Amino acid sequence: MNRLIILFVGLAFSLQLIAQQSPHGDQLKIDCSECHTTTGWLVNPLSSTYDHSKTGFSLLGQHQQIDCTMCHLSLNFSEARGISDCASCHLDVHEETLGKDCAFCHTSQSWIINNVSEIHANSRFPLVGPHANADCFDCHLSENLLQFRPMGVECIDCHIAEYQATMNPNHQSVGYSTDCFDCHNMRSADWNAGGFEHGFFPLTQGHSLSECSACHTSGNFEALSPDCQTCHLEDYNSTIDPPHLSSGFSVDCLDCHTTQPGWSPSTFDHDGLYFPIYSGEHEGEWNTCTDCHTVSGNFALFSCIDCHEHNKTDMDNEHDEENDYVYNSVNCLDCHPNGKADK
C-alpha cells in the first residue's frame, strides 16, 4: 500500500516538474493535447483546438492561415510580438503618416481597402461630390505613392492653380475670395459658379446667363451698376414700337417689363400713371396705342376727340354752363382724368 502511494506521489511530482519545464513558459495554462498529439510534438495550427481569443488576440481572417512561429519567435509564448501593435509584425509602408492603427483602414481579411470614402468621412475632409471619385494620389503626393500625410482642408490648398489661371472672370485681379465655397458648389461636377450668391441682382429668367462677361464687359465686377440702362440702353434707344426715347419713357425697364426673355409681356401701368384704358369705360374700346396716340412716334400727345367727335354737339350743349369748357383732348383729360362723365 505504501509503495502505491509513493508511486502516485512520484508520478504527480514528475508531471508537475514537466509542466514547470514547459518550453512555452509558465503563463500557458492549457492541456498539451489542445495542440499536440501522442504521435509527436509537431503542431498543425489549422487543426489546433486552442482558443486563441483567451490571449486577448483573436485569430481572424488572414491570421488564421499563418504559422504560429511568424508571431511567436520563441517557444515561450509570453514573448510573442505585441498583440495590440500592428507595427510589431507589419512593416508600416505609410511611414506613420496614417498613424499606427492598421485596423483604422485595413481588416484582417485583406490589405485591400474598398471603403475609402467611408474612412475619409471620419477625417477632417469628407469626400463629397467630385472628390469622391478623385484618385487618392491626385491630392496625396509622395515618391512611393504610399505616404498620406495630413493636408490642408481649405479649397485653396489644392486649387490655387485653378484660381490663378481663371480668366473669366479673372479671380486674382478682381480679388475674389480664395474660399471656393463662396461661389462654387462642392458637389458640382464642374466649376460653374452655381453657388455664387448674386442676391443683390437675381440672375433669373432673362438674366440667367452662363457667362459673367455678358454683363461684366469691362472685367470690373465690383463697379457694375444694377440699373437697367447699364446693359439695356441700346435696346431702349432702338425700340420704335413704341419709340421709348422720343416718348420719354422711363429708363427703368421694370416700370413696364418683367425679367422674362423677349421683353414681354409688358406690364406698363397706364391706368395708374396716366389714364384708365384697361379698366373703366375705355376698357375694350381700343385696339392699338395709335388709336389714341395718333401722332406717330409721339406718345406724349393723345387724342380724345378722334373717338368722341360725333358727340361734339351734345358735348357743347352739355357743357354750355362750363366757362372754361373747350372741346379738345387736353381739356377732356383735365376734367375727366378717370374717363368718367362725372369726372
Residues 6+ apart with CB under 8 A from 237: 244, 245
Q: List, for residues 78-120, the tens digit of each pLDDT value.
A: 777 766 678 778 888 888 888 888 888 888 888 888 888 888 8
Q: List, for residues 152-194, the tens digit of each pLDDT value.
A: 888 888 899 999 998 877 888 878 888 888 788 788 777 766 5
Would you state the pLDDT for residue 220?
A: 65
Average pLDDT, the chain: 80
Residue-wise burial string across 295-316, b where 16 or more C-beta atoms lie within 10 A, e elsewhere? eeeebeebbbeeeeeeeeeebe
Contact status, residue 164 vs residue 171, Cβ threshold 8 Å: yes
Measure the CA–CA gap between 162 and 273, rounded to whole angstroms.
52
Whether pLDDT at 13 is above 50: no
Residues 6+ apart with CB under 8 A from 173: 219
Three-state DSSP at 266 gives strand
Q: CA separation (Å) from 238 to 123, 173, 234?
A: 60, 35, 6
Percentages (nearest 5) of helix, strand, coil residues in the chain: 40, 0, 60
Contact status, residue 229 vs residue 180, Cβ threshold 8 Å: no
The residues that bridge with 37 in the sheet, in sequence order, are 40
User: Which segment of 9-13, 215-219, 245-249 scores lowest on mean pLDDT?
Assistant: 9-13
- Read off φ and ψ for residue 228, nearest 5 degrees: -55, -45
Measure the CA–CA gap between 263 and 259, rounded to whole angstroms.
7
Q: List, for residues 218-245, the tens digit of each pLDDT value.
A: 766 666 778 888 889 999 999 877 778 8
Measure the CA–CA gap between 168 and 253, rounded to whole angstroms.
28
Q: Which of 230, 182, 174 is nearest to 207 (CA)?
A: 230
- Tell me the whole-structure pTM to 2 decimals: 0.44
Amino acid at 166: T
Would you state the pLDDT for residue 17?
A: 47
Would you state the pLDDT for residue 14?
A: 46
Percent of the chain surpassing pLDDT 90: 3
Look up residue 13 and give its three cell numbers: 511530482
User: Which segment of 8-12, 40-44, 214-218 scores lowest on mean pLDDT?
Assistant: 8-12
Q: CA separation (Å) from 190 to 8, 195, 291?
A: 86, 12, 54
Q: List, for residues 245-290, the tens digit of each pLDDT value.
A: 877 788 998 888 888 888 876 777 788 888 898 888 888 888 888 8
